[in-house]
Amino acid sequence: METNSRPPGKTTIAPEVLLTIARLSALSVPGVNRLCTTPTDVNQFFTRGTSEGVRISVENGVVYSDIYVILNHDTNVREVSREIQAKVARAISEMVGMEVGKVNIHVEDIDYSQPAES
């Protein structure tokens, strides 16, 4: 009896899966108010791998991401940014098994609005 160590077939990951993982991971970090739209140019209208607040590219099997966030006013920007980087990189690595090159955080605004008190 001969055993085959290679699995039959291959697995492909849609870019939307990586976008969803990155978006949900970033939003789960305390201090993140919401994601904002990514800056676009004419060429971006015809490319895949962009979503509201997240831009993903894959080069040679390595994932690179840019995340555009709006933070709450009572947070430490550096700490929240590092936490987003760590969570997004860990989630992509663990869930998809791909190597993560860079996770760039772009703080686009700080939200100073206060929720209405009851």
How many domains does one find in the chain? 1
pLDDT value at position 115?
Answer: 63
pLDDT average per 10 residues of sequence, the chain (118 residues): 71 89 96 86 52 88 95 95 97 95 95 67
Residue 80 in domain: yes
Check residue 4 and give its pLDDT.
62
Is there a domain that residue 3 lies in? no
Q: Indicate which CATH number applies to the domain containing 86.
A: 3.30.70.1350
How is residue 38 written in tokens?
């990514």
Does residue 61 belong to any structural domain of this protein?
yes
Q: Identify the pLDDT of residue 10.
A: 84
Measured CA to CA, the distance from residue 118 to residue 97 in angstroms comes to 46
Position 81: which residue type? Answer: S
The full DSSP string for 48-116 is: SSEETTEEEEEETTEEEEEEEEEEETTS-HHHHHHHHHHHHHHHHHHHH--EEEEEEEEEEEEE---PP
Per-residue pLDDT, 94? 96
Global pTM? 0.80
Contact 54, 67 (CB under 8 A): yes
Q: Do 48 and 15 form a contact (C-beta atoms < 8 A)? A: yes
pLDDT at site 109:
93
Structural domain including 91 reads 15-40+47-110
pLDDT recorded at residue 83: 98
Asked if the structure places residue 102 within a domain, the reply is yes
Residue 116's pLDDT is 47
